[in-house]
Chain A
């Protein structure tokens, strides 16, 4: 992914995304659950309401039946036929009225309970003896008048047959069969599935035959009276409520009345609708928002990354780095400000460089001025000596020996002046080019020893050299020699009354250490700090004051250090430490060179 976004950023982003998604899904799940519970609650309430509604419906039906029955019972022809007519007339009249009121069962019993006429609409059968016995025991005050007969369940009313002057001559029983039409009617008003059972046999139902059969086989405790249970019929979830119509008539087979509400048919489509109209938009919206913010932040961080790259370029010195043209927003303004900052930085830096160069020039001029004064001062001595010697040389009375001496003095003084001039030149050049070679410390010490003894031949100073542990250096031999000879010369000059100079070298782990020590008067502690500053002569005659400054510069060029330890009255030790060893990778701070393995 070339988004310029760090891995951490991405991880944070995706974990945040995951977390938000989980939270959203969780809250949606909770909402779903709560909604489902609420819906089930409503469904339960509705189912509980269905029972009184269906009760009322059945009562109303019974009242209607009763009204019809009363019309029949009060009809003079019907009454006349029953009270006086022959069986054929009675039966004919019963059939006639059955057709008028369209009842499923019409039965007339005499005052002794004997059957006067009977019509069974649905079956066209004669009523059976057992059914007659059931009906004779029927009490018209029954709440809902449900009776189980051989042919099925009937809702019945009983009306006494009486007329003025005749008394009660018997009873009229009028009934509607409990059939699927009734079940459908009950379903229409209660919006619940309806099922009538005789024992465990479905008699009338709005359920499918298979579902009704399964309902009949449910264990009893699953469907306690007038309590709502959750059951499953043919893998469909239902809330079910059951009541018994004939709980108080034990010899009769029980008539069960089931009211069912399909949770799946109501809740599932509703939840689907809720999901489509609410959950889905929320989910999609969340996803779009998260992804949108992710890509937006990607874009922002890419643009910020360019700013960061620009800052890196600037910090590494590239002030010509140009940021892309700014857009008209916060980041655009930032990059614009960044560009302005870069331009002003560039200008300031140019000014600073200019000022620095100016200062450098001025300083150098100052140094040259001071140098000129020193040279003039220092050159006065040797020049006076040379002048004197030359005058003496010119005298005619001088013998050859004296002339030779004067000539030697002149040579010596010129040499001294030449040295001073060289030092000045070296310093004024500002830099020394090292011509490095593999340098054996042994060779170096031999050379030093030779030169030092030469230097001290006519003086009371003794020189000794010692190599404690050999090593090799990658160094400019001439320059190192000059440094060491400078130190030796200083020591010799400090010990006018005689003394000993000791040069020793050893390998300290990876550093080559060269020490130059004397047993002279030592340095005053206040001088030790300025020892390596240019033009610090400390009252020494015949020096430029540049020797130690130059030495330090050379050693630093070689990647080493130079230190001075001095104790007044006991002597001074200069310690030079240089990178050394059997394996030296040569890399100097100023001049990067390819490394070389030295064996």
Chain B
């Protein structure tokens, strides 16, 4: 089900370095997101093509931040642009991790106008209002969370996590996650569930064996 995203993430991950480790773990099961209600203002009207995968989007992101503050060098974002779709009056996904410098597209799959803007200190932008089938894009050149809203629909918001490295992943439906090809070192593992930070934990990654973090024990 998560294949397109996983593939996307894999594309972003650079070639495995020599001293690469893995971190894997489990998150508690969050309550399932409310099933999407189809919004059809004009039922007979033409509907832009919408990928089926938006039906059950991932909602939890896990990523690593270097504890020493080191930044990986020569990391270039992929030319393919990740998308935050505007579907059924929702931003999907609600949380999107991207490497700094990445351009994100905001296609509108709804049969009415949408807008995307942000007042975040990380990135202020306003894409204006655009109709169904159209898309606008923003390039995020600073790290940090960027909260995105639609000025038309107050309930719509999402977070773009602009990260300094590509060591991030979505957890699957059962709550397990795995980040591979991480240079050994000390990190802080952070978890965002939907549009807010849910938790964090220090983790030490080595080449010998994968580090494990089990958030379920906290419960």
Residues of chain A touching chain B, judged by Cβ–Cβ distance below 8 Å, are: 74-77, 79-81, 83-86, 89, 93, 163-167
Distance in Å: Cβ of A578 to nearest Cβ of chain B: 147
- B121:A164 contact, CB within 8 angstroms: no
Q: Which residue of A74, A77, A165 contacts B117 across the interface (Cβ within 8 Å)? A: A77
Question: How many angstroms between the C-alpha atoms of A255 and B120 in the bound complex?
Answer: 42
Distance in Å: Cβ of B110 to nearest Cβ of chain A: 16
Q: Which residue of B120, B151, B152, B155 contacts A164 across the interface (Cβ within 8 Å)? A: B155
7 closest A-B pairs (Cβ-Cβ)? A85-B119, A76-B149, A165-B195, A84-B120, A80-B119, A74-B154, A80-B149
- A164:B119 contact, CB within 8 angstroms: no
- A79:B154 contact, CB within 8 angstroms: yes
Question: How many angstroms between the C-alpha atoms of A93 and B147 in the bound complex?
Answer: 16
Shortest Cβ distance from B126 into A: residue: A77
B103 at the interface (CB under 8 A from A): no
CB<8 Å pairs between A and B, sample of 15: A74-B154, A75-B151, A75-B154, A76-B117, A76-B153, A80-B117, A83-B147, A84-B121, A85-B120, A85-B121, A89-B119, A163-B155, A164-B156, A166-B195, A167-B196
Please, which residues of chain A bring their CB within 8 A of the CB of B195? 165-166
Distance in Å: Cβ of B120 to nearest Cβ of chain A: 4
Which residues from 178 to 203 on chain B have a C-beta closer than 8 Å to any C-beta of chain A?
A: 194-196
Shortest Cβ distance from B34 into A: residue: A164
Please, which residues of chain B bring their CB within 8 A of the CB of A74? 154
Distance in Å: Cβ of B82 to nearest Cβ of chain A: 19
Q: Which residue of B117, B119, B151, B157 contacts A163 across the interface (Cβ within 8 Å)? A: B157
Question: How many angstroms between the C-alpha atoms of A117 and B117 in the bound complex?
Answer: 20
- A77:B119 contact, CB within 8 angstroms: yes
Other A-B contacts than A84-B120, A163-B155, A166-B196, 13 sampled, CB-CB below 8 A, are A76-B157, A77-B119, A79-B154, A80-B149, A84-B118, A84-B121, A85-B119, A85-B120, A163-B157, A164-B157, A165-B195, A165-B196, A166-B195
Question: How many angstroms between the C-alpha atoms of A86 and B94 in the bound complex?
Answer: 23
Please, which residues of chain B bring their CB within 8 A of the CB of A165? 94, 157, 194-196
Distance in Å: Cβ of B1 to nearest Cβ of chain A: 22
- B196:A84 contact, CB within 8 angstroms: no
Please, which residues of chain B bring their CB within 8 A of the CB of A93? 119
- A76:B154 contact, CB within 8 angstroms: yes
Please, which residues of chain A bring their CB within 8 A of the CB of B155? 163-164
Which residues from 97 to 145 on chain B have a C-beta closer than 8 Å to any C-beta of chain A?
A: 117-121, 124
Distance in Å: Cβ of A69 to nearest Cβ of chain B: 14
Q: Interface residue count for B (Cβ, 8 Å)?
A: 20
**What 0/1 readout, one digit per residue, does chain B (20-55) give for beta carbons within 8 Å of chain A?**
000000000000000000000000000000000000
Shortest Cβ distance from B147 into A: residue: A84
Question: How many angstroms between the C-alpha atoms of A166 and B119 in the bound complex?
Answer: 15
B169 at the interface (CB under 8 A from A): no
B150 at the interface (CB under 8 A from A): yes
Please, which residues of chain A bring their CB within 8 A of the CB of B150? 76
Question: How many angstroms between the C-alpha atoms of A332 and B20 in the bound complex?
Answer: 148
Shortest Cβ distance from B193 into A: residue: A165
Please, which residues of chain A bring their CB within 8 A of the CB of B156? 76, 164
Please, which residues of chain B bring their CB within 8 A of the CB of A167? 196
Please, which residues of chain B bring their CB within 8 A of the CB of A79? 149, 154
Distance in Å: Cβ of A12 to nearest Cβ of chain B: 95
Shortest Cβ distance from A71 into B: residue: B154
Shortest Cβ distance from A86 into B: residue: B121
Please, which residues of chain A bring their CB within 8 A of the CB of B151? 75-77
Question: How many angstroms between the C-alpha atoms of A83 and B146 in the bound complex?
Answer: 11
Question: How many angstroms between the C-alpha atoms of A74 and B154 in the bound complex?
Answer: 6
Shortest Cβ distance from A165 into B: residue: B195
Please, which residues of chain B bring their CB within 8 A of the CB of A75? 151, 154
- B147:A80 contact, CB within 8 angstroms: yes
Distance in Å: Cβ of A67 to nearest Cβ of chain B: 15
Residue among A76, A93, A164 with most chain B CB within 10 A: A76
Question: How many angstroms between the C-alpha atoms of A331 and B139 in the bound complex?
Answer: 124
Q: Which residue of A84, A89, A163 contacts B154 across the interface (Cβ within 8 Å)? A: A163
Distance in Å: Cβ of B107 to nearest Cβ of chain A: 19
Distance in Å: Cβ of A83 to nearest Cβ of chain B: 6
Please, which residues of chain A bring their CB within 8 A of the CB of B196? 165-167
Question: How many angstroms between the C-alpha atoms of A84 and B144 in the bound complex?
Answer: 11
Question: How many angstroms between the C-alpha atoms of A167 and B195 in the bound complex?
Answer: 10
Question: How many angstroms between the C-alpha atoms of A84 and B147 in the bound complex?
Answer: 7
Shortest Cβ distance from B159 into A: residue: A165
Distance in Å: Cβ of B3 to nearest Cβ of chain A: 25
Which residues from 145 to 179 on chain B have a C-beta closer than 8 Å to any C-beta of chain A?
A: 147, 149-157
Please, which residues of chain B bring their CB within 8 A of the CB of A81? 119
Distance in Å: Cβ of B33 to nearest Cβ of chain A: 10
Contacts A84-B121, A165-B194, A166-B196; A77 near B149 (Cβ below 8 A):
yes
Shortest Cβ distance from A164 into B: residue: B155
Residue among B94, B147, B155, B194 with most chain A CB within 10 A: B147
Distance in Å: Cβ of B73 to nearest Cβ of chain A: 30
Question: How many angstroms between the C-alpha atoms of A167 and B198 in the bound complex?
Answer: 13
Distance in Å: Cβ of B149 to nearest Cβ of chain A: 4
Please, which residues of chain B bring their CB within 8 A of the CB of A76? 117, 149-154, 156-157
Please, which residues of chain A bring their CB within 8 A of the CB of B119? 77, 80-81, 84-86, 89, 93
Question: How many angstroms between the C-alpha atoms of A164 and B119 in the bound complex?
Answer: 17
Please, which residues of chain A bring their CB within 8 A of the CB of B153? 76
Question: How many angstroms between the C-alpha atoms of A165 and B195 in the bound complex?
Answer: 6
Please, which residues of chain B bring their CB within 8 A of the CB of A163? 149, 154-155, 157
Distance in Å: Cβ of A201 to nearest Cβ of chain B: 41
Question: How many angstroms between the C-alpha atoms of A86 and B123 in the bound complex?
Answer: 11
- B157:A166 contact, CB within 8 angstroms: yes
Question: How many angstroms between the C-alpha atoms of A163 and B158 in the bound complex?
Answer: 11
Shortest Cβ distance from B146 into A: residue: A84
Please, which residues of chain A bring their CB within 8 A of the CB of B121? 84-86
Shortest Cβ distance from B121 into A: residue: A86
Please, which residues of chain A bring their CB within 8 A of the CB of B94? 165
Shortest Cβ distance from B145 into A: residue: A84
Question: How many angstroms between the C-alpha atoms of A83 and B121 in the bound complex?
Answer: 11
Question: How many angstroms between the C-alpha atoms of A166 and B150 in the bound complex?
Answer: 15
Question: How many angstroms between the C-alpha atoms of A165 and B151 in the bound complex?
Answer: 16
Question: How many angstroms between the C-alpha atoms of A163 and B119 in the bound complex?
Answer: 15
Question: How many angstroms between the C-alpha atoms of A166 and B197 in the bound complex?
Answer: 10
Please, which residues of chain A bring their CB within 8 A of the CB of B147? 80, 83-84
Shortest Cβ distance from B155 into A: residue: A164
Distance in Å: Cβ of A56 to nearest Cβ of chain B: 31
